[in-house]
Structure 1
């Protein structure tokens, strides 16, 4: 960790930190675990490459909402403020924040058990219920990072089709043409009939910590914004219930049962949540760069999940007796 950050934590937060170790994760950001007396902290330094001052101001608003969620009892890291602000800016432009370090481990579709899946649904539902109480705390406009309307989705795919060349990966070209065919089937009011509200918007395995039977904490609220909460639902189902090319209906039912403890959700709604996730994430993962050998790690998983939805689009209806 930079000495200037260590010094600023002492000056700004009144904490002398020690036992500093690097934490993996956080695309281009830098993360460190540290001790301050009996407190375990996580320090996050934001990438200058990824984040302009304008984007960091939006993240500040997102983190302020996270602080409100903690007050409502959502299991998430405590964020430390200096004055009224959470993100600290140093004279050289360095931007960082300090939060509590959360214990727990990451799970995936192969390792998560049914009890954890029900707890995940409950955590997601309670998160959305708490978000719904933050009236007036967020501008009701959709964020810039995704296809959140039918028009924007259609425009993106048409632009990509016009830019197709024969030297692009064949798998990408096939995927793009399949996506175009699906969009033509979608009803024009598809987005309009879905619930709107504040969503986590990064409800992925990296940002969910578990203990043996349930969720320990939901982390990384940087992207939370006014959106479609069912995107969090669809992303959770894709990440944790899609196993070896098949959906695990027992895990889906467990998630729905947990979610419905706090917010309305039925098994039939899961199909629309998955379709919504496809609509939002297609512009992210159906890109030429995502079909090159250099793509590795979780990005490959996300691409394959969107391709799975593309292939199984006609099967995304879940009757009540599916389990």
Structure 2
């Protein structure tokens, strides 16, 4: 264990607990670190008022956020909770959700949500049906006309085939220059898939407000029921179908994509919101086109989850791109 890092994290925690005492008068009896997420620190804190999640925003990572977009995401999370979606309601202090400590740490607090994580590829049909219903409800509420915030267009604007082919050529050159020949097969797989992708398939996918991070680590289950959808930080106007693809790929892909699980998700989703035939397979294609440059790189995947898992997903999609609709039973 890195002693300096441990000491730094303890200093951050002590600072945030002082802020909680000032803001809510809480006396914290226990603080348990939650080792999930990238760079941001999280704790489950046990108080006389209940259990809460304390989330610190890493100063370097915070530079990647748009504070106005983050504030809007918190507003929508609050609205979704109040409308019945299983998600925690952010706590506000003096009408603010994003708070600052004495030492300048940015943080937020939410009720701690019970439930368990389902490992990637490890969901049951009942869990997928429940997740489909929750995702459909979330998308229906987010796009019910209540939100008047204007968007210039979807967050993801697919680059041309020529741009993406040039990208893979550049990545291949970087891998060769770095002596990482073991990565070339994966890079070549992505390039071959790019040569065959029909970008016109994306034109039928509807734009709208979406969670944009709906994967296994942000979902808690209580048996078959979704007990909480977490982490709305990336919520933006984009393609809701990308949420569908990300959830199905995360929880239904083992050695192959389980069509029974995909169908259960779609059945649940259609209980709340329309989903056209073939939309799942098109969404999976778009998800691959969006995410493959993130996870297939000249540096390779970092050890462990989630990078190795995401790289596996991108390679599986690239290898099966032309058969996706058959593999998911026409969904």
TM-score when scaled to structure 1?
0.89
Aligned equivalent of 2:260? 250
* Residue 309 in structure 1 maps to residue 321 in structure 2: no
Q: Is 1:274 equivalent to 2:284 in the alignment? A: yes
Distance 2:327 2:283 in 1: 14
Post-superposition offset of 1:178: 3.2
Which of 217, 224, 227 matches 2:228?
A: 217
1:109/1:242 contact within 8 Å kept: yes
SS at 1:253 equivalent = helix
Runs of at least 5 residues in structure 1 that lack an aligned partner in the other structure: none
Q: 299, 304, 312: which one pairs with 1:289?
A: 299
Alpha-carbon distance in 1 for matches of 2:124, 2:217: 17
Structure with the higher helix share, 1 or 2: 2
Partner of 2:306: 298
Q: 1:137 aligns with which of 138, 142, 149?
A: 149
Aligned match of 1:26: 37
CA gap 1:60/1:281 in 2 versus in 1, 3 angstroms: same
Alpha-carbon distance between aligned partners in 1 of 2:165 and 2:45, rounded to the nearest angstrom: 45
Deviations 1:46-96 (A, max 9, x none): 111211285444322212211111121110011001222211123533111
**Residue number among 113, 123, 127 corresponding to 2:124 in the alignment:** 113
What is the CA–CA distance in structure 1 between the aligned matches of 2:315 and 2:222, rounded to whole Å? Answer: 31
Distance 2:251 2:111 in 1: 26
> In the alignment, what sits opposite 1:17?
28
Distance (whole Å) between structure 1 residues aligned to residue 218 and residue 199 of structure 2: 33
2:3 equivalent in structure 1: none
- SS of match in other structure, 1:312: helix
More displaced 10-residue stretch of structure 1: 17-26 or 151-160: 151-160
Residue 78 (structure 2) aligns with: 67
The reply on whether 1:5 has 2:19 as its aligned counterpart is no
Alignment map for 1:143-222 (pairs within 5 Å): 143=155, 148-151=156-159, 154-155=162-163, 157-162=165-170, 164-165=173-174, 166-168=176-178, 169-222=180-233
- Deviation, 1:188, is 4.4
What are structure 2's unaligned runs of at least 5 residues?
A: 1-9
Q: Post-superposition shift, 1:154?
A: 4.9
Cα contact 1:153–1:283 (8 A) shared by 2: no
Shift of 1:318: 3.6
Q: Following the alignment from structure 2 to structure 1, what is the Cα–Cα distance between the partners of residues 103 and 45?
A: 23
Of stretches 151-160 and 54-63 in structure 1, the one that deviates more from structure 2 is: 151-160
Q: How many residue pairs were aligned?
A: 316
Work out the CA distance in 1 between the residues paired with 2:327 and 2:190: 25
- 1:152-192 deviation digits (Å, cap 9, x = unpaired): 67535524423514234334333333333333433443433
Per-residue CA deviations over 1:118-157 (Å, capped at 9, x if unaligned) read 00111111111111124223634444xxxx2232675355
Is it true that 1:122 corresponds to 2:133 in the alignment? yes
Q: Identify if the C-alpha distance between structure 1 residues 62 and 162 changes in structure 2 by more than 3 Å, giving closer, same or farther.
A: same
Note the aligned Cα RMSD (angstroms): 2.4
* TM-score for the superposition, normalised by structure 2: 0.87
Cα shift at 1:108: 2.7
CA contact 1:253–1:267 (8 Å) conserved in 2: no
Change (3 A) 1:158 1:256: same
Name the SS for the 1:77 alignment partner.
coil
Q: Which residue of 2 aligns with 1:260?
A: 270
